[in-house]
Every structure is written in C-alpha cells, then in structure tokens.
Structure 1
Amino acid sequence: MNKQIIITASVLGMLAVITGAFGAHGLKAVLPAAQIEVWHTAVQYNFYHVFALLFLATLGPVKSGLIKASYYLFTFGIVFFSGSLYLLSCRSIIGWDWLIYMGPITPIGGLLFILGWLMLAIAAFRDKGLLDKR
C-alpha cells in the first residue's frame, strides 16, 4: 500500500465527513435548498474520490506514472471541484460575492476527475499484472 495516498485519502475523507455533517446540521437552517444541494454535490464527489484514492493505495507502491498521475488528478479534482462548490454554496452567508467568479474552477475539477479515471484505465490496460496480485 502507498502511505502517501492513504494519508491524503484519510485527510480528505475526514474533510468529507466534517463538511457533510456541517451541511446537514449547520447550514441547513441558513442556506436555501438549492445551495444545500450544491453543498451536497461537493460532499458526494469528495467521498467518491476518497474511495478512488483508497483503491489506488491497494495497488502497491506507485511505480506507474499513470497511477501517480491518477493520484494527483483525483486529489486536485477534489480540491478544485468540491472546494469551489463548498465556497460557492456559502458565498451569501460569508459575504464574499466575488466568489461567483470561482464558477469556472468547478468544471476544471470535474475534468481532473475524468482524467484521473482515464489514467487509471490506461494503467490497467498497459499493465496486465496491475490488478493480478495473487
């Protein structure tokens, strides 16, 4: 297993739990339903890609450049996609209306997620022994 990936996944997993609970208990009373839905989407994608990171960690030491690329793409995808949605959904309560300009960052994060999955798929196709560790 890869220690760096597990530590990253653990920190981002804790963040997903904290933000999920905060959204359900702290923000529900102060944000409109549409903004809560945006927050919820950020939490979901944060969790999905924490699980993807944990899967990468099971592949052993990161020898493949494609697996390493997938790790970085998933990690920065969480930061850009979920991070921008967290901020955008709360801009009205924190009074930072300028955050509306962060909108284009969200699709960049989504593209990073897509590329991360693509790198993982290419790594699996190229290295037939990647998943066969019997």
Structure 2
Amino acid sequence: MQKKLLILGAVLGLLGVILGAFASHGLEKLLTSEQLETFQVGVRYQFYHAFLALILGSTTFISNKAKNILFVLLLSGVTLFSGSIYGLATNSLTGFDFTKIALLTPTGGLLLISAWVLILFQVLKMKTK
C-alpha cells in the first residue's frame, strides 16, 4: 500500500504541474480571469492531496487497512472535486454542460474531508511512548 500511495501522490503532482501550466499558458486567452482562478483552485487542491498521499505512503503509524481506505478516498475525492472544477471552469469551451454534474464537486470535497477525518482518528489511536 505504501507504493500505491506514493504512485498516487506522484501522478497527482505530475498532473497538477501539467494542468497548472496548461491553464496559465494554454487557457489564458480562452477563459476569463475568474474561470482561470477557478481552474487553479482545482489544481491547488490536487496538489494538497498529492503531498498528502506522498506523506501517507511514507508513514508507518497508519494501518494498511486505513491506507487502503485513504487511497480510495483520495483518488475518488480528487477526481470528483478537482475534476469537476476543471470541467466547470472550462464549461464554455466544451459541448458538455458541466453545470448538470456540479454536485460532483461537493461529493468529492466530502470524500477528501473524510480522508482527513480518518487520518485524525488514526493519529488519536496512536499510543504514545
């Protein structure tokens, strides 16, 4: 599970750099400044959780069962949260109306919040030496 979390963190980080650069250099003339800022919010949260996955993959105080759950929460949460933000921000460029699936954003956010809550519980369960 360590490796899966580390790979997830690396892939999310890699895609974050690519998407952030794409927004700054490829979308700057196609989107309004408000749409670009919205897109960058998705990138920012993707990076936060890329770093979290890298940290989790490097820790030993969280059980493998919890790490499996965290992997799913982070992957699905970032996909739904940041992915839907990317879609909403670029809605004017596509033929698909992303506002019809706007509920994916808060659903993804709840999954990410759940990951942080699970981490908190794992830390509270730790035995102090």
When residues 61 and 3 of structure 1 are mapped into structure 2, their CA distance, relative to the original with a 3 A threshold, is farther
- The two structures have a TM-score, normalised by structure 2, of 0.91
- How many Å separate the matches in 1 of 2:21 and 2:77? 21
Alignment partner, residue 114 of structure 1: 113
Judge conservation of contact 2:62–2:122 (CA < 8 Å) in 1: no
Where in structure 2 are there 5+ consecutive unaligned residues? Answer: none
Instruction: Report deviation, 1:68.
Output: 2.4
Q: Match of 2:14, SS?
A: helix
The 5-angstrom pairing of residues 1-134 of structure 1 reads 2-60=2-60, 63-96=63-96, 98-128=97-127
1:3-28 CA distances to partner (integer Å, 9 max, x unpaired)?
11111111111110000000011111
> Aligned partners of 1:68, 1:117: CA distance in 2, in Å?
14
The alignment's C-alpha RMSD in Å is: 1.9
Asked whether the equivalents of residues 84 and 104 of structure 2 are also in contact (C-alpha less than 8 Å), the reply is yes
Count of matched residue positions in the alignment of Structure 1 and Structure 2: 129
Please give the TM-score of this superposition, normalised by the length of structure 1. 0.88
CA shift for structure 1 position 62: 6.5
What residue identity is the alignment partner of 1:4? K
Query: Compared with structure 1, are the counterparts of its residues 125 and 61 closer, same or farther at alpha carbon in structure 2 (3 Å cutoff)?
Result: closer
Q: Report if aligned partners of 1:2, 1:62 keep a CA contact under 8 Å in 2.
A: no
